[in-house]
Amino acid sequence: MPPLKPLLIFGTRPEAIKMAPIVRHCQQSPDVSPIVCLTGQHKEMLAQVTEYFEIEADIDLKLMQPNQTLASLTARCLEKLDAVLQATEPHCVVAQGDTTTVLSAALCAFYRRLPFVHVEAGLRTGDLYAPWPEEMNRRVASITTSLHCVPTQKSAENLYRENYPQTQVHITGNTVIDSLLYTVERERQNGEVWSQKYDFLGTNPMVLITGHRRENFGSGFLEICQAISELSQRFPETSFVYPVHLNPNVQKPVHDLLANLKNVYLVSPAPYPEFVWLMDRSTLILTDSGGVQEEAPSLKKPVIVMRETTERPEAVEAGAVELVGTSREKIVSSISLLLSNSIEYSKRQVDKNPYGDGKSAKRIVDLMLAQKWHH
């Protein structure tokens, strides 16, 4: 029997982090001969991750253009990926999550009648405009999917409700935990380097902040920055570390409101291994990112999420994550409670991460092989 030939497609940094364990697993298996294709939706940030995980791309489409619209990116993505499918003739197409890359990969696979494997399938908020455009992307991807690899029971139930065949839905856990556990182990051994870079932290408690979602631009961001400013004054012994996203919609309000506070440190966006070290070093995390909500429970770090809805309710139910939206008052009161009350803090440290045990990639590759698409 010939080896299974999957085309593994990704284009952004979060996708690369979540696809890396699958790529590695495919490359180590004698039964799989993977083709790795980057769309290059995020260029620099993507390169950092592929180097760290030692991923060699077979094809790099370099689609990123300055000030691209979603429509122009999607159009280029469809055209270029279709040409890749024609040239490589894979047995199936694999992509992760809910980006423009995933939407395009799912459509191209469908047009060529190839099985589509959706990694991290079944996430839903129920609101087509939050997160935007991701909620629409993942719903469309589900329609064309042959193998839904869902992280949790809840995401499986979302797909059952939408009448997808149960035989095609498999709970695999989330591959982000595979990457996290691998990285945290590696960076703890490398800790000296980071401790020197962040020596200003000393032994102080540290709040790690990330914020960049489109739907928070404008007034939402101003509230977030005002909350951080108030907290920094209320907790002068705590360091607030904020790797600031390069988007001008983020840079401007953050620098205007936070640049002169002595215990707030605005740093450049941290490469993945460094960010994992920062999460591991932090006391708690204030974020609007999806991935952080999945990773932090494995490190026993409470997360305060600056979003009104989340497609990751499992961590909220487990107690590890709290949704506060972008309300200044809610952000201030939630973080103040956790920084000043050790009993409340320990309630947020969960023993079992609802998103996985670090063996998700193996389950996914085993499932792909069991489909016998390569016969």
pLDDT tens per residue, range 232-260: 999 999 999 999 877 777 778 788 889 99
Residue 49 within any structural domain of the chain: yes
The Cα 203–Cα 88 span in angstroms is: 53
**Averaged confidence pLDDT in the chain:** 93
Q: Tell me what percent of the residues of the chain surpass a pLDDT of 70.
A: 99
Q: Which of 212, 281, 307, 374 is catalytic?
A: 212
- 222, 166: one domain: no
Q: Is 221 helix (H, G, I), strand (E, B) or coil?
A: helix
Whether residue 342 is found in the same domain as residue 361 = no
CA dihedral over 25, 54, 95, 3, signed as positive or negative: negative
CA distance 254 to 262: 14
194 lies in the same domain as 151: no
Structure tokens belonging to residue 323: 């949704």
Cβ–Cβ under 8 Å, residues 150 and 171: yes
Give the integer Cα–Cα distance in Å for 213 and 221: 9
Active site residue 98: yes
Is the backbone peptide bond immediately before 243 cis, with ω within 30 degrees of 0?
no
Tell whether 258 and 321 lie within a shared domain: yes
Confidence of residue 62 (pLDDT cuts 50, 70, 90): very high
Instruction: Report d(CA 122, CA 243) in Å as an integer.
Output: 30
Q: Residue 215's pLDDT band (boundaries 50, 70, 90)?
A: low
168 and 212: one domain?
no
Residue 63 — φ and ψ, nearest 5°? -80, -15
Torsional class of 122: left (φ above 0), alpha (ψ -120 to 50), beta (otherwise):
left
- Please count the structural domains in the chain: 2
The active-site residue out of 170, 214, 215, 357 is 214
Confidence tier at 213 by pLDDT (50, 70, 90): low
Residue entry with tokens 């095609």: 168
Same domain, 190 and 148: no
Between CA 54 and CA 67 the distance in angstroms is 30
Strand arrangement of the beta sheet that strand 303-305 belongs to:
264-267, 239-243, 206-210, 284-287, 303-305, 321-323
At 92, is the pLDDT very low, low, confident or very high (cuts 50, 70, 90)?
very high
Burial of 262 (0-12, 13-18, 19+ CB in 10 A): exposed
Confidence class of residue 369 from pLDDT cuts 50, 70 and 90? very high
pLDDT on residue 257: 85
Q: Which of 145-149, 212-216, 303-307 has the lowest mean pLDDT?
A: 212-216
308 with 339, same domain?
A: yes
Q: Which domain holds residue 165?
A: 6-174+357-370
Q: What is the pLDDT of residues 222-233, one digit of tens each?
A: 888 999 999 999
How confident is the model at residue 216, as a pLDDT? 62
Q: Count the residues in the chain.
A: 375
**What pLDDT does residue 98 have?**
96
pLDDT given at position 96? 98
Which one, of 328, 145, 343, 348, lies nearest residue 230 by Cα? 328
- Residue of 24, 25, 76, 98 marked active site: 98
Q: Return the ∠ at Cα 12 (arms to 286 and 27), rounded to 5°.
A: 115
Q: Is residue 1 part of a domain?
A: no
- Give the pLDDT of residue 307: 86
- Can 148 be counted among the known catalytic residues? no
118 is known as an active-site residue: no
In the set 134, 223, 288, 294, the catalytic residue is 134
Select which of 112, 170, 245, 308 is catalytic: 245
Task: Return the structure tokens found at 332.
Answer: 């201030």
Predicted local confidence at residue 336, as pLDDT: 98
Q: Is 25 a catalytic residue?
A: no
Question: In terms of domains, do 133 and 220 share one?
Answer: no
Task: Dump pLDDT digits (tens) for 105-158.
Answer: 999 999 999 999 999 999 999 999 988 899 999 999 999 999 999 999 999 999
Q: CA nearest 62: which of 42, 39, 81, 95?
A: 39
Other CB atoms within 10 Å distance of the CB of residue 304: 22
295, 181 contact by CB (below 8 A): no
Mean pLDDT score, 161-181: 97
Q: Is the domain of 301 the same as that of 361? A: no
pLDDT of residue 345: 97
Note whether 82 and 167 are same-domain residues.
yes
Phi and psi angles of residue 348, each rounded to the nearest 5 degrees, phi first: -90, -5
Domain-located, residue 338: yes
Please count the other Cβ atoms lying within 10 Å of the Cβ belonging to residue 229.
18
Could you give the CA distance from residue 288 to residue 115 in angstroms, rounded to a whole number? 33
Same domain? 105 vs 224: no
Residue 375 falls inside a structural domain? no
Has residue 92 been placed in a domain?
Answer: yes
> pLDDT tens-digit profile of 2-26?
999 999 999 988 899 999 999 999 9
CATH number reported for the structural domain that contains residue 337 in this entry:
3.40.50.2000
**pLDDT mean over 54-76:** 92
CB 119 within 8 A of CB 22: yes
SS3 351: coil
Catalytic residue, from 15, 25, 118, 120: name it. Answer: 120
pLDDT tens-digit profile of 308-337? 888 889 999 999 999 999 899 999 999 999
In a domain, residue 180? The reply is no
What separation in angstroms does the CA of 257 have from each of 117, 147, 306, 360, 363? 44, 47, 18, 41, 46
Q: pLDDT-derived band of residue 214, with 50, 70 and 90 as boundaries?
A: low
